């Protein structure tokens, strides 16, 4: 199993109350340091969200700018969009294809193309989408078009949600035939659909390993018969959790009970109103209580959170490995955790936990793409870029 982190620029009032003018900039710079520390510590992926208009929950609206910057200050970590919103009213598909190719070049082939259609009516209506169900049809029209835009020659399209005359979509990706493709998913039908399309899954659903196991099983069975919308299959399931791995387990517990992580979860259900809402979640502005020491101990014991000593965290990670997750990602700054503590936890996890589970130096997505190229090497036009090896 591989490991990654998640960037969202969470900016709760707990931070802005202390520093009204400087908190937003400081936390954005913390996100950059977060990626640099993960890169040094052996994490293979970072995923940067795209959200609009969601005060406190996420101020990371221009993830293409963020990822282009961190490409310049990192060496090995793959840079993923978690997600690019590919609905045409939010982002014209040709502009998405251009941004993907540009970041892929600037990162030297380290880009991972995560797609989605948005999960908040606040965002959708801000861009003129009044019916959330239409985003499903938009996604279905757009996602198969990217591989055609990235091929050599002109591209044109006449569709329901976007149209364009023959044009050269430039630049072409550095990674041939194109970077790995993913989609955000949270329910059984989306997992199955992702597998049929040959897309990797970015699983942002909340739940225990036991609750996620049936979704991964559906995906792994279905992807054997994939008809990929890209040029090749990306057989990958990424799941998200929280992590605070410190040598002093009691210190990790004390910090975890006081970093406002439940406030962030309350904002999830406040804003992301197209997500299924579990029973018992209070209605905003009522809040989910922050964890108690006793409750956190129970979660650690059950393997629901990767918090505690390296030994405790290793046991929790095993629960995700056992259900077949390919990648485990941590949104550590989706809390008020100080960046110094975050960096210490990344380093501790990198020393003690990553070597137990990730013994393959090459990224899974790179291995799968190279296997595709070996099976059916593409014909390169004169002056073309040779297949990339990263």
Comparing 229-243, 353-367, 375-389, the range with the smallest average pLDDT is 375-389
Instruction: Write 59-64 long-range contacts (CB < 8 A, 24+).
Output: 59/9, 59/11, 59/24, 59/27, 59/28, 60/7, 60/8, 60/9, 60/31, 63/7, 64/99, 64/102, 64/103
Q: What is the pLDDT of residues 316-347, one digit of tens each?
A: 999 999 999 999 999 999 999 999 999 999 99
Per the structure block, which two tokens stand in for 321?
A: 């490995």
With a CB cutoff of 8 Å and minimum separation 6, the contacts of 231 are: 147, 177, 178, 372
| pLDDT-above-70 percentage for the chain | 96
Q: How many domains does the chain have?
A: 1
- Cβ neighbors of 223 (< 8 A, separation 6 or more) are 195, 196, 198, 233, 235
Asked if residue 161 belongs to a domain, the reply is: yes
- State the pLDDT at residue 206: 76
In percent, how much of the chain has pLDDT > 90? 91
Lowest mean pLDDT among 38-52, 102-116, 370-384: 370-384
Q: What is the CA radius of gyration of the chain?
A: 20
Burial of 375 per CB tally in 10 Å (0-12, 13-18, 19+)? exposed
The Cα–Cα gap between 326 and 311 comes to 21
H or E stretch covering 115 = strand 111-116
Specify the pLDDT at position 387: 45
Asked if residue 297 belongs to a domain, the reply is no
Which CATH number goes with the domain that contains 311? 3.20.20.30
Domain that holds residue 159: 2-282+306-375
231, 147 Cβ separation under 8 angstroms? yes
Residues counted in the chain = 390
- DSSP reduced 3-state for 276: coil
Indicate whether 127 pLDDT > 90. yes
Residue 253 lies in a domain: yes
| Token pair of 43 as six digits | 């994490």
Confidence of residue 377 (pLDDT cuts 50, 70, 90): low
Region 6-26: what's the mean pLDDT?
98
Binned at pLDDT 50, 70 and 90, residue 193 comes out as very high
Is 388's pLDDT higher than 60?
A: no
The pLDDT of residue 379 is above 60: no
Of the listed ranges 203-207, 245-249, 289-293, 361-365, the least confidently predicted one is: 203-207
Q: Strands, DSSP E only, in 310-387?
A: 327-330
pTM for this model (two decimals): 0.95
287 belongs to a structural domain: no
* 166 belongs to a structural domain: yes
How many other C-beta atoms are found inside a 10 Å radius of the C-beta of residue 380?
12
Does residue 64 lie within any of the structural domains?
A: yes
Of the given ranges (136-150, 204-218, 227-241), which has the lowest mean pLDDT? 204-218
- Asked whether residue 322 is domain-assigned, the answer is yes
Tens-digit pLDDT profile for residues 203-228: 987 789 999 999 999 999 999 999 99
Cα atoms in the 13 Å half-sphere on the side-chain side of 311: 2
In a domain, 290, yes or no: no
> Angle at Cα 359 formed by Cα 6 and Cα 351, nearest 5°?
65
Whether the upstream peptide bond of residue 304 has omega within 30° of 0, thus cis, is no
Model confidence at 190: pLDDT above 80: yes
d(CA 157, CA 261): 44
Residue 384: the pLDDT is 46
Structure tokens at 209: 């390993």
For residue 252, pLDDT beyond 50: yes
3-state DSSP helix/strand/coil % of the chain, to nearest 5: 45, 15, 45
Confidence (pLDDT) at 378? 53
């Amino acid at each position: 199993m591989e490991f990654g982190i998640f960037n969202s620029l969470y900016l709760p009032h707990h931070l802005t109350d202390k520093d009204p003018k400087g908190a937003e900039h400081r936390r954005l710079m913390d996100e950059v340091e977060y990626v640099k520390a993960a890169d040094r510590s052996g994490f293979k992926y970072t995923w940067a969200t795209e959200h609009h208009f969601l005060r406190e929950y996420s101020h990371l609206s221009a993830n293409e700018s963020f990822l282009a910057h961190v490409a310049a200050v990192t060496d090995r970590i793959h840079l993923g969009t978690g997600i690019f919103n590919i609905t045409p009213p939010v982002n014209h598909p040709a502009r998405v294809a251009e941004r993907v190719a540009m970041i892929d070049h600037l990162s030297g082939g380290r880009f991972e193309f995560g797609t989605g259609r948005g999960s908040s009516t606040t965002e959708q209506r801000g861009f003129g989408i009044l019916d959330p169900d239409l985003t499903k049809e938009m996604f279905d029209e757009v996602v198969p078009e990217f591989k055609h835009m990235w091929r050599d020659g002109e591209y044109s399209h006449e569709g329901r949600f976007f149209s364009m005359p023959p044009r050269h979509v430039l630049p072409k990706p550095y990674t041939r035939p194109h970077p790995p493709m993913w989609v955000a998913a949270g329910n059984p039908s989306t997992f199955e659909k992702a597998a049929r399309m040959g897309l990797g899954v970015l699983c942002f659903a909340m739940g225990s390993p036991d609750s996620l196991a049936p979704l991964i099983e559906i995906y792994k069975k279905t992807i054997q018969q994939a008809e990929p919308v890209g040029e090749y299959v990306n057989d990958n399931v990424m799941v998200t959790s929280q992590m605070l791995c410190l040598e002093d387990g009691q210190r990790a517990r004390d910090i975890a009970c006081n970093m406002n992580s439940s406030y962030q979860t309350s904002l999830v259900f406040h804003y992301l109103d197209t997500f299924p809402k579990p029973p018992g979640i209070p209605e905003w502005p009522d809040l989910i209580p922050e964890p108690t020491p006793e409750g956190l101990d129970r979660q650690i014991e059950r393997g629901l959170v990767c918090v505690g000593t390296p030994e405790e965290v290793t046991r929790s990670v095993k629960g995700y490995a056992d259900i077949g997750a390919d990648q485990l990602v941590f949104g550590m700054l989706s809390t008020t955790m100080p960046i110094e503590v975050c960096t210490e936890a990344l380093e501790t996890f990198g020393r003690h936990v990553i070597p137990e589970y990730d013994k393959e130096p090459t990224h899974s997505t790179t291995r799968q793409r190279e296997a595709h190229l070996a099976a059916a090497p593409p014909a390169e036009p004169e002056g073309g870029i040779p297949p990339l090896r990263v």
